[in-house]
Amino acid sequence: MESPFKSDILKGKVVLLTGGGSGIGFGLSTQFGKHGASIAIMGRRKSVLDSAVSALQSLGIPAVGFQGDVRKQEDAKRVVESTIQHFGKLDILVNAAAGNFLVSPEDLSPNGFRTVLDIDSVGTFTMCHEALKYLKKGGPGRDSSTGGLILNISATLHYTAYWYQIHVSAAKAAVDAVTRNLALEWGSDYDIRVNGIAPGPIGDTTGMSKLSPDEISGNSEEREPLYKIGEKWDIAMAALYLASDAGKYVNGTTLVVDGGLWLSRPRR
């Protein structure tokens, strides 16, 4: 679907996306690039990075991939610095890297729980921490009038509770807390806006194939009147709103983009 936004709303911006080579993250990389941004992608798998970067470049988007794991602070630091070396500055950090698997609490080892928190929550904080000096107002490559922006990809499952997702619920609750607290402190001190997006089920993603809601809850369409599968495009359009000047007064919010699904209850 064509974008309703002008193609230059992110002109001249440099965006670093963790997990930007696949799924929702790649949808964000593509649309940010199509709207004028230069794209740096961080991911663990070289083959995924290589094919994402070639796909972006074939659309005429300046793009580069850096291998790294958000669980390692030295990787986070190196990738942020490589982005600066490559593009000269950093305007937008998108934390889209996430880990997930379905497991009951009985079968989940404490290390499995910790692994997902390490990727989603600690990884998000680590990336923000390493990117701060480049995102703050007056930081290297920036002018002194505006700070950069952070966008954290979250979820809605922790608003209530979700079968076999105790680790992810805890991890995404922490991500939302990071979003709000950084919005308060870094918005105030450095003019950095920090927001999140909580996607619903999005087609053609690893999350969707791994979590296939029918596996968990039977026929979701009957149980949940608002059940609809979204597209990566839907998440990218919300991200463009938050990342562009259209969202300049939005700070500390996590925008739910799920067609209203999390509100659903079975019809009586």
Pick the stretch among 7-15, 112-120, 223-231, 260-268 that binds ligand HXC (CB under 6 A): 112-120
160 touching ligand HXC, by CB under 6 A: no
User: CB atoms < 10 A from the CB of 248, how many?
Assistant: 11
Angle (CA) 197 198 201, round 5°: 130
H or E element in which residue 88 lies: none
Give the span between the Cα atoms of 103 and 165, in whole angstroms.
7
Pick the stretch among 113-121, 128-136, 225-233, 241-249 that binds ligand HXC (CB under 6 A): 113-121
206 touching ligand HXC, by CB under 6 A: yes
> Which residue number, 85 or 111, has a Cβ lying nearer to ligand HXC?
111
> Which residue number, 11 or 210, has a Cβ lying nearer to ligand HXC?
210
Residue 55 Cα distances to 29, 34, 72, 217, 219, angstroms: 10, 12, 27, 36, 36
155 touching ligand HXC, by CB under 6 A: yes
Q: Is 240 left (phi over 0), alpha (psi -120 to 50) or beta?
A: alpha
> Which residue number, 192 or 197, has a Cβ lying nearer to ligand HXC?
197
H or E element in which residue 150 lies: strand 149-153
How many residues touch ligand HXC under the rule CB under 6 A: the total is: 20
264 touching ligand HXC, by CB under 6 A: no
> Which residue number, 71 or 86, has a Cβ lying nearer to ligand HXC?
71
146 touching ligand HXC, by CB under 6 A: no
42 touching ligand HXC, by CB under 6 A: no
Over its C-alpha atoms, the chain yields an Rg (Å, rounded) of: 18
Give the span between the Cα atoms of 181 and 194, in whole angstroms.
9
> Which residue number, 38 or 205, has a Cβ lying nearer to ligand HXC?
205
> Applying CB under 6 A, which residues contact ligand HXC?
98-101, 103, 107-109, 111-112, 115-116, 119, 155, 157, 168, 206-207, 210-211
